[in-house]
Amino acid sequence: MSSTTGSLPTTAPILFEDYLALGIYVGIALFLVAILLLLSWGLGHRTRSRIKNEPYESGVYPTDNARLKGPVPFYLVAIFFILFDIEVIFVASWAVAYDRLGWAGFGQVSFFTLVLLVGLLHLWKTGALDWGPSAARQNRKNQDIP
Amino acid sequence: MASIMFYLLSLILLTATLLCIFQRNPVHAVLYLVLGFFSLAIMFYLLGAPLVAAWEVIVYAGAIMVLFLFIIMMLGLAPQDRPEGPGWQRWLPFVILMAAVLACTLVIIALDPAATAQGEPYSLGPQDFGEALFGKYALAVQVVSFQLLFAAVGAYNLGRIQRGKGKP
pLDDT digits (tens, 9 = 90+) for B55-75: 999 888 888 888 888 888 777
Nearest to B67 among A82, A90, A115 (CB): A82
Is the Cβ pair B141, A108 closer than 8 Å?
A: yes
Residue A11 with chain B: CB contacts under 8 Å: 116
* pLDDT of B168 higher than 50: no
Mean pLDDT within B136-164: 83
Q: Is residue B70 part of a domain?
A: yes
- What residues make up the domain containing B93? 2-79+89-124
User: Does one domain contain both B117 and B158?
Assistant: no
Number of domains chain B is built from? 2
Specify whether the CB–CB gap between B168 and B161 falls below 8 A: yes
Q: Is residue B98 part of a domain?
A: yes
Q: Is residue A108 part of a domain?
A: yes
The three-state secondary structure class of B80 is: coil
The CA-atom distances, in angstroms, between B89 and each of A40, A127, B23, B78, B93 are 21, 47, 14, 19, 8
Q: Given this model, what pLDDT does residue B41 score?
A: 92
Mean pLDDT within B148-163: 80
* pLDDT of B34 higher than 50: yes
- Alpha-carbon gap: B21 to the closest alpha carbon of chain A (Å): 22
pLDDT digits (tens, 9 = 90+) for B73-117: 777 666 656 655 566 777 788 888 899 998 888 888 777 766 665
User: Does one domain contain both B67 and B141?
Assistant: no
* pLDDT of B153 higher than 60: yes
Is the Cβ pair B112, A9 closer than 8 Å?
A: yes
Residues 6+ apart with CB under 8 A from A128: A76, A80, B156, B160
Is the Cβ pair A1, B2 closer than 8 Å?
A: yes
Residues 6+ apart with CB under 8 A from B145: A87, A90, A111, A112, A115, A116
* pLDDT of B167 higher than 50: no
User: Does one domain contain both B59 and B116?
Assistant: yes
Q: Which residues of chain A have pLDDT under 50?
A: 1-11, 146
CB pairs under 8 A between A and B: 191
Residue B133 with chain A: CB contacts under 8 Å: 90, 93-94
Q: Is residue A120 part of a domain?
A: yes
Q: Which residue of B has its CA nearest to A95?
A: B130
Query: B15: pLDDT confidence band, cut at 50, 70 and 90?
Result: very high
In 10 A of CB B13, how many CB atoms?
Answer: 20
Angle of the B138-159 helix axis to the A72-96 helix axis, nearest 10: 170
User: Does one domain contain both B53 and B97?
Assistant: yes
Q: Given this model, what pLDDT does residue A129 score?
A: 76
Query: B17: pLDDT confidence band, cut at 50, 70 and 90?
Result: very high
Lowest mean pLDDT among A7-16, A90-99, B133-142, B152-161: A7-16
Q: Given this model, what pLDDT does residue A140 score?
A: 65
Specify whether the CB–CB gap between B152 and A80 falls below 8 A: yes
Is the Cβ pair A75, B80 closer than 8 Å?
A: no
Q: Given this model, what pLDDT does residue B126 score?
A: 83
The three-state secondary structure class of B152 is: helix
Q: Is residue B59 part of a domain?
A: yes
* pLDDT of B124 higher than 80: no
